[in-house]
Amino acid sequence: AQKVTQAQTEISVVEKEDVTLDCVYETRDTTYYLFWYKQPPSGELVFLIRRNSFDEQNEISGRYSWNFQKSTSSFNFTITASQVVDSAVYFCALSEDAGTASKLTFGTGTRLQVTL
């Protein structure tokens, strides 16, 4: 069975600090996909990034970067120079490739609080 672990329940940082959100996953599939979603206080889930199991390149998008390491089954997310607007719950999710629908397994989320 698939599993996603986000061990950090809550993180508080001061604006402009860098912060890394950890994600560790378990799967027996050789083909799988990893996602990060953001859930701001308004409640909706916003897609941030997708990675497939064959692409270990790190990715940077503005202040956001992602580090995917198959050797440690981790897909960590770093926010550089955090801002108050980054305050949200962040979910890591794993999707199996079973040729059917994309059934996401979510972690329990990390609540990030950025203060002035």
Partner 1 sequence: NAGVTQTPKFRILKIGQSMTLQCTQDMNHNYMYWYRQDPGMGLKLIYYSVGAGITDKGEVPNGYNVSRSTTEDFPLRLELAAPSQTSVYFCASSYSPPAAAGFYEQYFGPGTRLTVT
What residues make contact with partner 1 under the rule CB under 8 A?
A: 4, 9, 31-33, 35, 37, 42-47, 50, 52, 91, 93, 95-104, 106-109
**Distance in angstroms (rounded) separating the CA atoms of residues 111 and 39:** 9
Nearer to partner 1, 94 or 114 (CB): 94
Nearer to partner 1, 47 or 84 (CB): 47
**Distance in angstroms (rounded) separating the CA atoms of residues 82 and 45:** 19
- Cross-strand pairs, 104: 95
CB of 43 to partner 1, least distance (A): 5
* C-beta of residue 67 within 8 angstroms of C-beta of residue 73: no
Nearer to partner 1, 92 or 114 (CB): 92
Nearer to partner 1, 5 or 78 (CB): 5
CB of 29 to partner 1, least distance (A): 9
